[in-house]
A = this chain, B = another copy of it.
Amino acid sequence: MDMHDLTRQLMIKNDSKIVMLVADGLGGLPMTPGGKTELETAKTPNLDALATRGVQGASIPVKPGIAPGSGPGHLGLFGYDPIQYQIGRGALEATGIGFELQQGDVAVRCNFCTLDSEGKISDRRAGRIPTEESAPVAISLRQIQIPGVEIFVEPVKEHRFVVVFRGEGLGGDVEDTDPQATGVAPLTPVARNKESEKTAKVAKEFLRQAREILKDQPKANFHTMRGFAAKPHLPSYEVVYGLRAAAIAVYPMYKGLARLVGMEIVGQAQTLQDQIDVLKQNWDDYDFFFIHFKYVDSTGEDGNFDEKVKRIEQLDEVIPQIEALGPQVLIVTGDHSTPAFLKSHSWHPVPTLLVSDCCRPDPHTTFGEATCITGGLGHFEAKYLMPLALANADRLGKYGA
């Protein structure tokens, strides 16, 4: 029995609204010993007011010491154990460009490469061919036809593109064809199990036709295939939580991740204020709202401490508009830490804040890394945040008599 078995069994439906505001990469580090983090430096009167009314804690995205990518980071926040549920590379790449995977699809990351006259790889990335050159070449592969299989080819960036096979009986376990070396020929797709034999055969035929189509290209005269992956099977928010869930995100990756757990993508917001407007417009139609704010992470990745501080302050400014809608539960968190000091995702726990009429407030009156470690939510794995949200929304019954 896992947490989803529990939430399914104890599920109560009511009219409550839950808002989860995710500041991507929220957690940080001081730039100098004894200094403050980005969140602690930012002027956040609204978050501090929430901290006074609410309860905070330190969310461990996956397990202690493990820095997650966006996929596992969000799965944890959504309540899906990020070790139990894994999204294959191909599926994540397709998701990231906004491709709507269907059950049974197999997605593959492809790299254009250059073959020499003997058919050996001389450049595994086709000279990092620029996107404006590579995209039309990728699109030229859309002429490939294989009976019984629907094929999608989508350009990504530079030498990268995605291929999706759709059809009956396609397993996702096929070996990469990239030999990870130059001076050797690309490998042939090999199935890792019986269920994936058809996929390997289809991939082989795709490569055969691609070789013919690409043969006169100066750089991108062939391609490799990596990270074959079926659409992961994630039970939906409706099924495991009884929630009609909406996602309000700007970037395709986060829309895609939300779609994988059965959220509906609402609006076409481009700015944070757009996102809040979309929230208001859709308030009556959903029980749960995931709002994704990207720029806290991207400024952290750039190592730009001051800019990350500003982005957190920008986030703080919209809080009153969310509160005015009167959600039963309001959560502010991040999918992982992205300290400007490290310029990368990190393993450090993420400051997480939960406010409801029946949360048990802790004594803190500000929100940050130093306070969250002694907050009322303790140190907890991110996957427990959703059960806490449901409980605070009175959406979980008693376990056992």
Binding site for B on A (CB under 8 A): 1, 3, 6, 10, 29-30, 33-34, 37, 53, 58, 62-73, 82-83, 86-87, 89, 92-93, 339, 341-342, 344-349, 358, 360-363, 369-370, 373-380, 384, 386-392, 396-401
Give the distance in Å from the alpha carbon of A386 to the alpha carbon of B83 in the complex.
18
Copies of this subunit? 2
Main secondary structure of the interface of A (DSSP, over half): loop
**A398 contact from B10, B64, B67, B92, Cβ within 8 A:** B67
Closest 8 CB pairs of A and B: A65-B387, A378-B379, A65-B391, A64-B384, A69-B400, A72-B400, A69-B401, A65-B388
* A64 contact set on B, CB distance < 8 A: 377, 380, 384, 387-388
Once the chains bind, are A345 and B70 in contact (CB under 8 Å)? no
| Known A58-B378, A400-B86: A391·B70 in contact at CB below 8 Å | no
Give the distance in Å from the alpha carbon of A392 to the alpha carbon of B390 in the complex.
34
Once the chains bind, are A375 and B373 in contact (CB under 8 Å)? yes
Give the distance in Å from the alpha carbon of A159 to the alpha carbon of B75 in the complex.
46
* A344 contact set on B, CB distance < 8 A: 398
* A374 contact set on B, CB distance < 8 A: 373-374
* A397 contact set on B, CB distance < 8 A: 67
Residue of B nearest to A7 (CB): B65
Once the chains bind, are A68 and B29 in contact (CB under 8 Å)? no
| Known A373-B375, A379-B379: A6·B63 in contact at CB below 8 Å | yes
| Known A53-B33, A373-B378: A396·B67 in contact at CB below 8 Å | yes
Once the chains bind, are B378 and A66 in contact (CB under 8 Å)? no
